[in-house]
Structure formats: structure tokens, C-alpha cells
Amino acid sequence: MTEQAMPVGGAVPYLIVSDASGAIDFYKQAFGATEISRAATPDGKRIMHAAIEINDATLMLMDDFPEARDGKGSTPEALGGSPVLIHLQLADVDAVWNQAVAAGATVTMPLEDQFWGDRYGQLVDPYGHQWSLATTVATPSDEDLRKGAEESFGGST
């Protein structure tokens, strides 16, 4: 694919992965991603930059280039995990959840109805990036939210 100009505005996550081609394929299978662009290194072995669209949002990604950082990798695997959680608010969380799990995502928080009104769960993709998926199923009152938070977190809220 050829490189296309990115629109100005918003904040776009830029993921570093151990296998950008594989990650693009995974995101297509798991989340129905559409590939926007891909630019490979001259030898064709790694991706310098790619852009995909998931759930009407752009996400950029690239292969890790540790040689550009004194041999230090920047993938979640190299760093021992990622503190970032990428969230998808969906019309049908169950369908996308099942698709992502079938594609190879690992469940870290089961998909369940939550006190704040979402059917919500968390996954880790095969490249170490964390994802949360949700569909709003209810609109709890402020009192219901307070009670749910107390039950879930005790007195720490």
C-alpha cells in the first residue's frame, strides 16, 4: 500500500509491535480493522509505518527498531507490559469480543455487565497491547453508581 496523508487533529495511538504485518492481520481479524497505509523498510522485512482504522478511529503502528535506541526494544514484550489500555466502545461488544478471542486475544478481565452500565471486559493482543471493549447496556443512577463502586472497591472510593 502507498502512504496517504493523515488528517490533522485528535490523538492517534501509535503502537510499536514485534511483527507489524502480523499485528495488522490480527487487528483485521479481531476488530475488523481496515488497512489505510503501509510503508516497508527498503529490504521489505519490517514496517516503518502503517495506519489502520478500527471502530472509526485511526491507529498507527510500526515494527520495533531497537537499533535506533541503543539496542533497547520498545514493544510491550520488551518492556514487561504496557500501562496503556486502548478502549473500543462498540454497538455489539459480544460479537467483537468473540471475534478477538477467536483471533488469539487473551482475556484478562471477563466480559460482564458492570455496575457503571457497560457490558465490559479486557483483553491483551498477541503483541502485548491491552484493550478494553464495551457496549453501554444501562444508565445507572448516581446512587446505583455509588453503591456499585462501594461494592467493587470498598471504602477506597
Average pLDDT score over residue span 120-144: 97
- Answer yes or no: are the C-beta atoms of 74 and 66 closer than 8 Å: yes
Which pLDDT does position 112 carry in this prediction? 98
Which pLDDT does position 9 carry in this prediction? 73
Is residue 157, in this structure, part of any structural domain at all?
no
Which pLDDT does position 92 carry in this prediction? 97
Which pLDDT does position 88 carry in this prediction? 97
**Separation between Cα atoms, residue 114 and residue 111, nearest integer Å:** 9
Task: Please state the domain count of the chain.
Answer: 1
Rounded to two decimals, the pTM is 0.89
Which pLDDT does position 47 carry in this prediction? 98
Which pLDDT does position 83 carry in this prediction? 94
CATH number for the domain spanning 127: value is 3.10.180.10
pLDDT-derived band of residue 6, with 50, 70 and 90 as boundaries?
low
Question: Could you tell me the three cell numbers for 154?
Answer: 470498598
pLDDT over threshold 90, residue 154: no
Mean confidence (pLDDT) of the chain = 94
Closest alpha carbon to 64 in 81, 85, 51, 49: 49
Containing structural domain, residue 100:
14-152
Is residue 8, in this structure, part of any structural domain at all?
no
